Structure 1
Amino acid sequence: MRLMLLTAGSRGDVEPFAALARCAAAQRHEVRLAAPENPGADLAGLDAVSLEVDFQRLVGTQGASPWTAVRRYRTEVGPGMRRMLSAAVRETLAFRPDVVVHHPKVLTAPAVADALGVPHVVVETVPVLTPTREFPAPGVVTRDLGPFNRWTYAATRSAARMFRRDIEEACAQLPGSTPAAAPSAPTASLVPISPQLLPRPADWPASTHLTGAWHDDAGAPELDPAVLRFLRGGAYLVATFGSMAAGDPSSRGRAVVESARAHGLRTLLLTGWGGLALPDELRGDDVHVARSVSLDAVLPGAALAVHHGGAGTVHAVARAGVPHVVVPFLADQPFWGRQMHRLGLAATPVPRKHLTTARLTAAVVEALSCASTAEWVGREIREEHGLHEALSVLASC
């Protein structure tokens, strides 16, 4: 089977696809992965091509605010999306796969699959495409609307209309140059989420598959010796806000370090794309600052993790059996913060704009009380085989 994998976004959007590519290649499938530039994920050993957009640069330019993204659409966001949509068509045509597997942001994937006469399968790294009555579309509304929850999923289908001209321009490369007015529906939807963190809704159709998380079992990479020495020095927490960079990173760093010290914990502060910074006056032997490390390598020994609530980070923390303090910024992060709290794995979420030392110190107390539940859930998640389940679905397409 020849698989074309197309993904877009930050590290949390790329790592599951990279894990699927490695697992598929190990089973002797021919796999090509098209991903953004500078993704922050390890693509070594993969047949990988560029989608000609750097999401880290876009975030650095526009910040996390969607309103800023709208203002910068003509100069940054629009051109980046056009390059990505066009590259996705070009690379897929060149590979001529048997199946196209794509992130929802890659809006040209259905059309190019139709042009090649092959099925396409969408990957819901966040469950925003398949309507359900059980919860509203993550990132659309922040409260349960009961029987009206299904209506909220209409908003997630508007992206194709917003980028209609860009899609048409990219699809001019297709044989015949005129794509169908409406591409075919996906053959299946893969949801790489653990059922321990999101039980399957009863009203999802059979074509939507909750596979379990896609995790590369090759093992965590070797850590820098300085990080290893720090981890061996006593109890610690891990703080990361990934690709989130809005607001005051020094203020957030202060809240994290001071709340950790209040509980006798040391801090591994991961600055990511600029969301955390350590004020000079708080430097000490009990704080280690790094831009990025493998979460799989540092989380298993942590007392807890303070993070933004991205789906990838949520799964990494839960898989390690570690309790959470979620500080959501935007999109699906409030959903995951509420869900982890509801499951007894996390403290009550602390919104980014309300993060203070006092609130975070209290949240750490609440999170530490979740340790036994987090440990049990972590064991269950580590027994899942999400990648094999996904490949089984793809083989039947």
Structure 2
Amino acid sequence: MRLMLLTSGTRGDVEPFAALARYATARGHRVRLGAPEHSGVELSGIDTVGLGMNLHRMVRTHGLSPWTAVRRFRTEIRPGMREMLRAAVRETLAFGPDLVVHHPLVLTAPAVADALGVPRVLTEFVPVATPTREFSAPGTPESVLSTVGAVSPDPGRFNRSTYAVPRGGARLFRADVERACAQLPGGRAPSPAAGSRATLMAVSPHLLPRPADWPDRVHLTGAWHETAPEALPDPAVAAFLRGGPYLVASFGSMAAGDPGARGRAVVASARAHGLRTLLLTGWGGLALPEDSRGEDVLAVPAAPLDVVLPGAAVAVHHGGAGTAHTVARAGVPSVTVPFLVDQHFWGRQLHRLGVAAAPIPYRELTPEALAPAVGEALAHREPARRTGAAVRREQGLRTALDVLTGI
């Protein structure tokens, strides 16, 4: 089977597609991956084409926040989306796939699949395109406010209506989709045909039990995670891991606010519980100020989470879908510090499951707030261990490929 995989976004949107590409290729399928450039994901050995949309550069320069998105919409986000949508059509036509598998942001995927007469499959890492009565759409005001207890987390029959918000966002790019589809036979998008043949919800059922009102075409596969030989961290990190109990802090691509103040809060909270601190500074969301340095702290730009997390006592993280699953898979309790969109959703889910403390929005992160939250998380070690064992038994990639080959 010839599979065209199309994704857009940041590292957490690319890594799972890369895992699926390698898994399907190893089982004899012809796979091409269209992905944003400079995502920071290792793509060696994958037939890859670039789709532009360099969010890495924008985040490094301006940070990532809703206000950044508003300010940069016309100058960077819209031009980047326009380039990505056009490239997705061009590269899919050139490949001639039997099946198109795409991220919700790739808004031209339905049109190009229809033009080629092939089925398509939508992939979600966060349930933003599949409505349910059981919870509001992640990232909507209702979802975010419920994280901090400002509204009821269960508005019941109104939950389904919140999924109109992400659909409305897609309408902002309608003209860009039409321009990109000028490359199609006939010079325009075909009339809407049937929807996606299936939806792959690449989420662990142990972190998000399947809502009863999801249709049968939605497959809760488990997270897409590569089982690869563990990459050894650099010698300084390896030595740190052997030095006694420690806390791991990582905010990934988040870079809003004061990274030094956040680093200070993390180190102080770890010390309050007799823990050392491994600070992964990422794209700039964390920094180690001079007054927090010490032999009990190591700050590095990055380290493989699958290596450093299993030995950790606790993790402090932003709550992105990929990181939330990686922390859960490691069996480590955590504190989430959500910045935006789905992170509030995952922070709330982990807390409800009893494997994490209550989320602390990033603007409220202080030593006084974080230290007791770390203590709360440490009390959840046994539930976190059990959840980790269950998540590690999942076969998300195998389940996803079984669905795709059955279409």
TM range, smaller chain: over 0.9
Give ranges in structure 2 of 5+ residues lacking alignment.
144-152
Alpha-carbon distance, 1:181 to partner: 4.5
Partner of 2:381: 371
Conserved? CA contact 2:134–2:211, under 8 Å: yes
Structure 2 residue 224 is matched with structure 1 residue 206: no
Percent same amino acid among aligned pairs?
65
Partner of 1:295: 305
Alpha-carbon distance, 1:371 to partner: 0.4
Equivalent-residue separation in structure 2 for 1:157 and 1:329 (angstroms): 22
Q: Which residue identity does 2:132 align to in structure 1?
A: T
CA offsets 1:57-111 (integer angstroms, 9 cap, x no match): 1223443222331222121111111111111111111111111101101111111
Conserved? CA contact 1:257–1:267, under 8 Å: yes
Partner of 1:231: 241
Partner of 1:243: 253
Return structure 1 stretches of 4+ with deviation > 3 angstroms: 181-184
Equivalent of 2:365, from 328, 331, 355?
A: 355
Partner of 1:148: 158
Q: Which residue identity does 1:129 align to in structure 2?
A: A
Partner of 1:195: 205
Equivalent-residue separation in structure 2 for 1:159 and 1:185 (angstroms): 19
Conserved? CA contact 1:62–1:69, under 8 Å: no
Partner of 2:2: 2
Indicate how the Cα distance of structure 1 residues 138 and 22 shifts in structure 2: closer, same or farther if over 3 A, else same: same
Alpha-carbon distance, 1:183 to partner: 5.4
Equivalent-residue separation in structure 1 for 2:193 and 2:109 (angstroms): 9
Partner of 2:404: 394
Alpha-carbon distance, 1:385 to partner: 0.5
Relative to the length of structure 1, the TM-score reads 0.98
Conserved? CA contact 2:232–2:238, under 8 Å: no
Conserved? CA contact 1:307–1:326, under 8 Å: yes
**1:391 aligned counterpart, secondary structure:** helix
Please list, as runs of the form range in 1=range in 2, the aligned pairs for 1:209-220 lying within 5 A after superposition: 209-220=219-230
Of stretches 57-66 and 186-195 in structure 1, the one that deviates more from structure 2 is 57-66
CA offsets 1:214-258 (integer angstroms, 9 cap, x no match): 110123322111110111111111100011111000000000001
Partner of 2:32: 32
Partner of 2:70: 70
Q: Which residue identity does 1:149 align to in structure 2?
A: N
Please list, as runs of the form range in 1=range in 2, the aligned pairs for 1:87-126 lying within 5 A after superposition: 87-126=87-126
Relative to the length of structure 2, the TM-score reads 0.96
**2:248 aligned counterpart, secondary structure:** strand
Q: Which residue identity does 2:34 align to in structure 1?
A: A
**Number of paired residues?**
397
Equivalent-residue separation in structure 2 for 1:180 and 1:107 (angstroms): 14
Alpha-carbon distance, 1:369 to partner: 0.4
Conserved? CA contact 2:201–2:220, under 8 Å: yes
Conserved? CA contact 2:65–2:339, under 8 Å: no
Give ranges in structure 1 of 5+ residues lacking alignment.
none
Conserved? CA contact 1:121–1:190, under 8 Å: yes
CA offsets 1:165-224 (integer angstroms, 9 cap, x no match): 111111111111111243541111000111000000010000000001111012332211
Equivalent-residue separation in structure 2 for 1:250 and 1:18 (angstroms): 33
Alpha-carbon distance, 1:346 to partner: 0.2
Equivalent-residue separation in structure 2 for 1:228 and 1:65 (angstroms): 33
Partner of 2:336: 326
